[in-house]
């Protein structure tokens, strides 16, 4: 039986699909996060292996025509020791010619079959990529929380806390956002000076990226409008003047009011949402194996 394997190895979970030549999903697997930059590489590769192994249940891996792995933290594979871990895993699983791409590349492929375009990612962090021939050839942003990640959940959360601190410095009634931030942290706003000090202590006492937990508290308003401006700025930075290729939006931030603002600012362009990165990975594997006429994966009928 001819089939391909697609894997979406993210920071919090890993999914794998085995897909036949006609696009039918033959098997699926799931495991934990597999970003080798944010967790021990041995643990990350074990999660990838577990997900693929489950997807291949009942199938002969030596009959796989191609395998594409979309992975968060691909930069870690420049470490020869880490790369060797993955190569050994592919061999143990019986897979050859495995292609490892970034999670952004497979997300782009899940949102459009176009060869060229732009992928805009805004989850915990943010980055935009120029896609040519379904490969990311340049980026804007993606510097991490310390140096950038403008418009991301981290950025939104930080702005929510900063706005709350400024509100606590005044005698004005606290707005809905400030009240929500204080509830999230369990801080009593009755004594403003104490609440101000406590919020600073709580925010600085956690890992900086934990500020992203406040992002869902931010509704439509100046913060989300500014986030949309910043994200569109990096998206346009990777596009050529007058480019009309599609833009694929990826990440939790772009599913809410920030995403609405981004779409409004990109009016006139084709803007799509990434549906499921694992389907993009499986389709890219099918293109590798069968060419441009490859069928996009479809769930197996129940």
At residue 76, the pLDDT reads 87
pLDDT in tens, 162-177: 999 999 999 888 999 9
How is domain 114-269 classified at the CATH fold level? Nucleotidyltransferase; domain 5 (3.30.420)
138: nearest Cα among 236, 16, 15: 236
Residues 66-94, mean pLDDT to the nearest whole number: 92
**Is 188 a residue whose pLDDT tops 90?**
yes
Phi/psi of residue 240, nearest 5 degrees: -80, 150
CATH of domain 3-111+276-290: 3.30.420.40
Mean confidence (pLDDT) of the chain = 92
Summarised one tens digit per residue, pLDDT across range 98-111 is 999 998 999 999 99
Asked if residue 244 has pLDDT above 90, the reply is yes
Name the pLDDT band for 301 (thresholds 50, 70, 90).
Answer: low
**Would you say the CATH fold of 114-269 matches that of 3-111+276-290?**
yes
Domain ranges of the chain: 3-111+276-290, 114-269
Lookup: tokens for 225: 């409008």
> What is the reported pTM?
0.84
| 299 has a pLDDT exceeding 70 | no
What CA–CA distances, in Å, run from 155 to 35, 166, 205? 21, 16, 17
Between 14-18, 37-41, 200-204, the lowest mean confidence (pLDDT) is in: 37-41
More confident residue, 275 or 42: 42
Query: CA 71, CA 174: separation in Å to the nearest integer?
Result: 42
Q: What length is written for the chain?
A: 302
User: CA angle 93-50-87, nearest 5°?
Assistant: 40
How large is the C-alpha radius of gyration of the chain? 21
pLDDT at 86: 95
């Amino acid at each position: 039986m001819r089939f391909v394997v697609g894997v979406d190895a993210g920071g919090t979970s890993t999914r794998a699909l085995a897909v036949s030549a006609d696009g039918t999903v033959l098997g699926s697997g799931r495991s934990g996060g597999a970003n080798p930059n944010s967790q021990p590489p041995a643990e990350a590769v074990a999660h990838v292996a577990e997900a693929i192994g489950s997807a291949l249940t009942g199938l002969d891996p030596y009959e796989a025509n191609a395998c594409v792995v979309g992975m968060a933290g691909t930069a870690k594979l420049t470490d020869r020791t880490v790369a060797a871990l993955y190569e050994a895993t592919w061999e143990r699983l019986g897979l050859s010619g495995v292609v490892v791409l970034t999670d952004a590349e497979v997300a782009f492929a899940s949102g459009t079959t176009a060869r060229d375009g732009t992928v805009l990612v805004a989850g915990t962090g943010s980055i935009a990529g120029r896609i040519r021939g379904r490969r990311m050839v340049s980026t804007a942003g993606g510097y991490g929380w310390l140096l950038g990640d403008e418009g991301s959940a981290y950025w939104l959360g930080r702005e929510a806390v900063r706005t709350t601190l400024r509100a606590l410095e005044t005698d004005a009634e606290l707005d809905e956002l400030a009240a929500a931030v204080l509830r999230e942290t369990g801080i009593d706003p009755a004594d403003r000076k104490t609440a101000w000090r406590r919020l600073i202590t709580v925010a600085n006492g956690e890992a900086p990226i934990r500020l992203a937990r406040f992002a869902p508290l931010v509704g439509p308003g100046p913060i989300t409008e500014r986030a949309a401006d910043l994200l569109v700025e990096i998206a346009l930075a990777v596009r050529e003047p007058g480019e009309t290729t599609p833009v694929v939006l990826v990440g939790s931030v772009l599913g809410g009011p920030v995403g609405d603002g981004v779409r409004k600012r990109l009016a006139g362009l084709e803007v799509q949402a990434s549906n499921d990165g694992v389907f993009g990975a499986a389709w890219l594997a099918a293109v590798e194996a069968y060419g441009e006429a490859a069928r996009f994966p479809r769930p197996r009928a129940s």
